[in-house]
Amino acid sequence: MPHQSIHATQLVESLASLKRSKERTVSAALSYVLALKIGARPSFALPRPNLTFGQI
């Protein structure tokens, strides 16, 4: 029995860390898109905010 509870805890922790990293990626992408929309320079700046990925 103790072995199963340890496994469940590890599973929950790994799922939680996966969710956190996914949220970080999504929030970074969202803030980047917002920065492009308002014409601000993103923090990990491309040369010009209106540059599309095809022009790089």
Taking alpha carbons only, the member of 53, 18, 13 closest to residue 32 is 53
For residues 22 and 32, the answer to whether their CB atoms sit within 8 Å is no
Q: What pLDDT was estimated at residue 50?
A: 58
Q: What pLDDT was estimated at residue 10?
A: 86
- The reported pTM is 0.41
For residues 49 and 41, the answer to whether their CB atoms sit within 8 Å is yes
> pLDDT of 4-56, one tens digit each?
667 888 888 888 998 898 888 988 888 888 877 877 555 555 555 555 555 54
Q: What pLDDT was estimated at residue 38?
A: 76
Residues 6+ apart with CB under 8 A from 35: 41, 42, 43, 49
